[in-house]
Amino acid sequence: MNIPGLTVAKTAEGEVKPRVIVCHGSEDGLAKQAIDGTVLLIGVSTIVGGGDGEVFDVVRSGLAQVFYSEAIAIGDPITANADGRAKKAMPGDFIIGYAEVVGNADELGTIWIAPSKQA
């Protein structure tokens, strides 16, 4: 299922692969591929990623497709792994949202974007 909400253009800080979780870059207007749940996660890249300095789209709300890095169940809180892929969040992690579909590593899944921080 793919029903994106707000989609915004950002400039890539480093390479951003398609369908991965992203976070703010070092300056206004920049975004980079997330590497963990220690910073605020802002959205998911679309089917087209971006090379360093290229403009790419980020889904900021609604439902978005993202690659899973492990077995995920419906409703699992989701954060980023070292490759920007979705993994189950641990206490204290920033999350991008919640899994909408079951999936396994390397599968394309769907998440509901609802950024927050796990207690």
- Residue pLDDT, tens place only, 22-72: 999 999 999 999 999 999 999 999 999 999 999 999 999 999 999 999 999
Nearest CA to 16 among 62, 83, 115, 87? 83
pLDDT digits (tens, 9 = 90+) for 82-101: 999 999 999 999 999 999 99
Cα separation, 80 vs 20, in Å, equals 8
What residues make up the domain containing 24?
1-119
Residue 7 is part of a domain; what is its CATH number?
2.40.300
Specify the number of domains making up the chain.
1
- pLDDT value at residue 18: 99
Contact 100, 58 (CB under 8 A): no
Q: Return the pLDDT at 1.
A: 56
Q: pTM score, two decimals?
A: 0.96
Sheet holding 94-99, edge to edge: 62-67, 108-117, 94-99, 77-80, 86-88
The mean pLDDT of the chain is 96
